[in-house]
Structure 1
Amino acid sequence: MTVSAVASRPDVGHPRRWLILAVLASVAFMAQLDLFIVNIAIPAMGRTFEGAGISGLSWVLNAYAIAFAALLVPAGRLADHHGRRLFLLSGIAVFVAASVACALAPNLGVLIAARAVQAAGAAMIVPPSLGLLYPAFPKDKHTLVVGIWAGVGAVAATAGPPIGGLLVALDWRWIFLVNVPVGIAALIAGLIVLPEIRAPRTAELPEPVSTIALFAGVSLLVFAMSEGSNLGWTSLPVLGAALVAVAAIAVTVVYALRHPHPLVEASLFRTREFSTAALAMFVYYIGFAAWLLLTVLFLQNVWHYDAVRAGLAIAPGPLTAAVFAINAGRIARRFGRRLPAIVGPALMGVSAAYWLITVSSTPTYLALLPGMLIGGTSAGLTQAPLFAASSALPPERATTGAAVLNMFRQIGSAFGVALLVALMATATPNALYEFQRGWWLEIVVAIITVLVVARSARGEAASKPASSLGSARSMN
């Protein structure tokens, strides 16, 4: 079934909307899980590929992060034009095939190349999954279903280490093979259940210059942030990549403002809710990525937990995130979307402050657990209202909006990891004071995110009386 712009009646939704949600949530989980599940397997990969140093092994993570961040917006925009269902199903096929290649990789080079292809598949999956979700449900259900979708994403992010730890105990290759049955099942279900949605036939494709510029800018920016600690922040490759990235992003902005058909339209950011969500997503994920990495490193490097034990120790976080994110609809009906978007980031700072006060080098899991639960609550409350901002855009731009938000999230995550490594002065910290620097980073990021969202709320409140006065004058 092909639909030009909206898959169903906006006041009722698609008759198979809950099946659609199940399919989209499962593939979003699969795609986002691989952003985090591999981290805990890096030491095991190093034992398999003898002679591979940490700088080489880091590219198993960096190749995925760079390709995923750079391809999100082009994939989202092309999905709007050529068909969201087509792109999502093609992305699943690419992701599954690349997962098999990762599992069978005979050497590190093949594994890194397969990870880049896997990321391309993920970039084709994540934006269309939200773009297909909105039209399937009536407007008043968007916060509910985006909460479920974001809850799945929150669980994927925080469940990566626990699941990875359990699978690494068998063999690190299982972290890729586990995608195969899930992907095949989702592909079959998607062929049966998902409707096709695309922009009107008269819509123009984005012009190529801004597409190439954004791809180059994002990929080089993430490269510079990922490699700064390895190559040196003042090294020629890092500085050169950063300068070219800034120039490429400037070209993207100019085209967004002046060209009639850019890849990213400036009109997206004229919606206050969306522009605030994009900025808040970037800032929040600086701290959230640091929170995830810090927790894994602390358990393994300071408390000397093995991969399985560290994974299980982190498990309460994703469980708590799931509970709050799945109930995002109820929370929004009771408190609105703005309050959870403020309280969520604030709780990340509370979690870090609690660990600063209570956690020591002596393993005491009960001292760590409350901070884990608070951090999970933060992830569960924050993501749903921020991702829901895509629904404020026109229906034909929902996928592009979701792609932009995910891009800001990925750039924020890369920046957070790079900043954390720079603050701790080493990629393998083992002293408590090094982790305390990271917790202070989370507190600062939490405060900034709260200010971003709260300032937007004040701006909206201040504009309403003026708008009302203007309306009254026009009526008179």
Structure 2
Amino acid sequence: MDGVAAKRAVTTDRTATPRPVRDHSTAIVWVLCSASFMAMLDVFVVNVAFTKIGESYQGSSLADVSWVLNGYAIVYAALLIPAGRFSDRFGRKAGFLVGLGIFTLASLASAVAPSLWALVAFRVLQAVGAAALTPAGLGLLLTVLPPARVPGAVKIWATTSSFAAAFGPVVGGALVEASWRWVFLINLPVGLVAGVEAMRLVPNLHQRIPARVPDLLGAALLIVAIGALSLGLVQSSEWSWASAATFGALAVAVLGVVLFVARMMRHPNPVVSPALFRVPTFVWANATVLAFCTAFGAWFLSITMWLENVAGFNSIETGLAIVPGPIMVPIFAVVSQRLIKRMPVGVVVALGNLLFAGGVVLVLTTASTPVQYATEVLPGWVISGIGIGLALPSMIASAAVDLSPDQSATGSAVVNTARQLGYVLGVAVLVAILGSLDAAADRMLTAFQHGWLFIAIVAAGSAATAFGITPRTRRS
């Protein structure tokens, strides 16, 4: 009997010994970032494919084709915060997988769209998926990784958009030569692999508190407000800023915000908790992100239009010419992380934004026609890329540092909404400043110089707000 008892004891001891657990942190980072990269890549690639899409649907006006871009931008911006809130309440992994699945299936549908308005509808569905996976993915990075890995992981996540900006035009230019439909088909393998690996590697953390349904009426008000604001901005160049349609859209946006804020302050389970806006770093980071992305959205588009419409570059040449600026971003994101160990993050972000503004000013003061890319565009473009690398990852990472874990996806969604609205506002203002692209060369130069002056001023403004984003919780 003693031998049997001893044998049982040995067996019990063996079963009680835990197996070593493998650290999947690095794989999780790349899986989550690959989905974010895919969503951002699609934005830049579709910009390159825009002309070919219009040509394939005969009889469609430029205004009609623009909804391939505008429909995505409006719905994406409008749904980010409600999607983030629902991910916080009902599970970030589920939100990420559902969003990734919708985005991937909508990409396939977009590739085979039989008509322009079918393509627009599938692009809207893509935006629904992207709005779900973006805050859920960033929320997962903030909660499932060891604390020491979080700052670096968030910076990798933030720089994926810069990689998309660098490679999107090149990839798009090459794919469009075959067919614009390949622009959407390339999402299928990425989406499938990311989905399978996410199911396998990402832990499913359960909420510490019972899930309650967030304020549905508040979510609807927020969607209407942001959607109306985005609509007014993206259509302002066609409707004109003084038109009744633009004024009406912006008025609906203001009314929606007022009603949403009133609802947010009174509802027991609001879509966005008022507590978020009592966190100083979060507020200043959002102000900085909004200003920065307004400048960035206008800057990227202005250089693309300058090269294609004034310098006469084709799609592939433009894509290759754009690469040097965005390729600086991941390099100087690493430099930024080292600088933050020696000085406050707000100072580093302000320095980056000032370099960004300086690069824009350099192009502004040296530009001429005919265009000399190597001496007039490239130096300022590279300097702005250095500044963006110093600023962008750190401002995104700092926004959520002082938030509680149960607010991470919602907070991330607010930051990304500010980011998306900045892109929309920057593009809308730039298009309004440039006007027609059929003007004489000297008028084109003057119009672009006015646009670059606007960009430099806004970038300098984002440097001023950056000083407020140094977190209370210092992370190296």
1:79 matched residue in structure 2: 87
Separation of aligned partners in 1, 2:335 and 2:251: 43
> SS at 1:37's partner residue?
helix
- TM-score (structure 2 length as normaliser): 0.90
1:466 matched residue in structure 2: none
Equivalent pairs, count: 447
> SS at 1:304's partner residue?
coil
Which stretches in structure 2 are left out of the alignment for 5+ residues? 1-20
Matches within 5 A, 1:3-14: none
Separation of aligned partners in 1, 2:22 and 2:400: 19
1:386 matched residue in structure 2: 395
1:472 matched residue in structure 2: none
1:21 is displaced (CA, Å) by 0.4
Separation of aligned partners in 2, 1:111 and 1:325: 36
Separation of aligned partners in 2, 1:428 and 1:173: 29
Contact 2:363 2:381 (C-alpha < 8 Å) held by counterparts: no
1:416 matched residue in structure 2: 426
The reply on whether 1:292 has 2:300 as its aligned counterpart is yes
Matches within 5 A, 1:192-207: 192-207=200-215
The reply on whether 1:360 has 2:368 as its aligned counterpart is yes
Change (3 A) 1:286 1:228: same
Pick aligned residue for 2:409 from 399, 409, 412? 399
Separation of aligned partners in 1, 2:207 and 2:125: 27
Give 4+ residue runs of structure 1 displaced > 6 Å after superposition.
427-430
CA RMSD in angstroms comes to: 1.9
Q: Deviations over 1:330-366 (max 9, x none)?
A: 3322334222211121122111111012222223221
1:150 matched residue in structure 2: 158
Contact 1:66 1:223 (C-alpha < 8 Å) held by counterparts: yes
Contact 2:280 2:468 (C-alpha < 8 Å) held by counterparts: no
Pick aligned residue for 2:464 from 451, 464, 467? 451
Counterpart residue identity of residue 42, structure 2 = D
1:438 matched residue in structure 2: 451
Pick aligned residue for 1:322 from 330, 342, 346? 330
Contact 2:395 2:469 (C-alpha < 8 Å) held by counterparts: no
Matches within 5 A, 1:180-259: 180-259=188-267
Separation of aligned partners in 2, 1:26 and 1:330: 25
Pick aligned residue for 1:376 from 368, 382, 385? 385
Contact 2:96 2:136 (C-alpha < 8 Å) held by counterparts: yes
Contact 1:147 1:328 (C-alpha < 8 Å) held by counterparts: no
Counterpart residue identity of residue 462, structure 2 = T
Counterpart residue identity of residue 415, structure 1 = L
Counterpart residue identity of residue 343, structure 2 = F
Separation of aligned partners in 2, 1:223 and 1:198: 37
> SS at 2:45's partner residue?
coil
1:326 is displaced (CA, Å) by 4.6
Separation of aligned partners in 1, 2:326 and 2:51: 23
Contact 1:166 1:311 (C-alpha < 8 Å) held by counterparts: no
Counterpart residue identity of residue 267, structure 2 = H
> SS at 2:233's partner residue?
helix
1:266 matched residue in structure 2: 274
Separation of aligned partners in 1, 2:403 and 2:142: 11
Matches within 5 A, 1:163-174: 163-174=171-182
1:110 is displaced (CA, Å) by 0.7
Change (3 A) 1:59 1:142: same
- TM-score (structure 1 length as normaliser): 0.90
Q: Deviations over 1:195-254 (max 9, x none)?
A: 113533424321112111000000111001001111222333322211111101111111
Q: Pick the structure with greater CA Rg.
A: 2
The reply on whether 1:346 has 2:354 as its aligned counterpart is yes
Separation of aligned partners in 2, 1:158 and 1:410: 18
